[in-house]
Amino acid sequence: MLLKNMLNKKSKKVYPIRSCIGCGRKDHPKKFIRLTIDKNCDIVIDKEFKMGGRGAYLCPDISCLKKALKRNKISKSLKVDLKDEMIEKISKKIEAGIYNFKIKEKINKSKSYG
């Protein structure tokens, strides 16, 4: 799906949009945390959005993580079977990723104002 930049009418740029697997919100991919599978078949956070393969997008919000886990959306989106111990490990990784995402966002906002 594509979303045109509606703020600047002169701009002809078209952006891809993605949906959060937790809440379903649609936005630019950089507004989400991207999950993917690495070579060792572990679920990882793709910080640079450069890893190939199937990906799942999640809002940087704990409530979206909880919804995604409750509805089994991570395993469905990535097409993998998750064991209980894997879910616990993934949850901790994603929670740390959400924290880092929010810090990075605050730093970027302060740079744009200063």
- CATH superfamily, region 2-6+13-113: YlxR-like (3.30.1230.10)
Spatial CB neighbours of 62, under 8 Å, sequence gap ≥ 6: 95, 98
pLDDT at position 12 over 80: no
pLDDT tens string 31-48: 999 999 988 888 889 988
Task: Sketch the domain layout of the chain as residue ranges.
Answer: 2-6+13-113
Residue 5 · residue 16 · CB < 8 Å: no
Above 90 in pLDDT, residue 28? yes
3 state SS of 113: helix
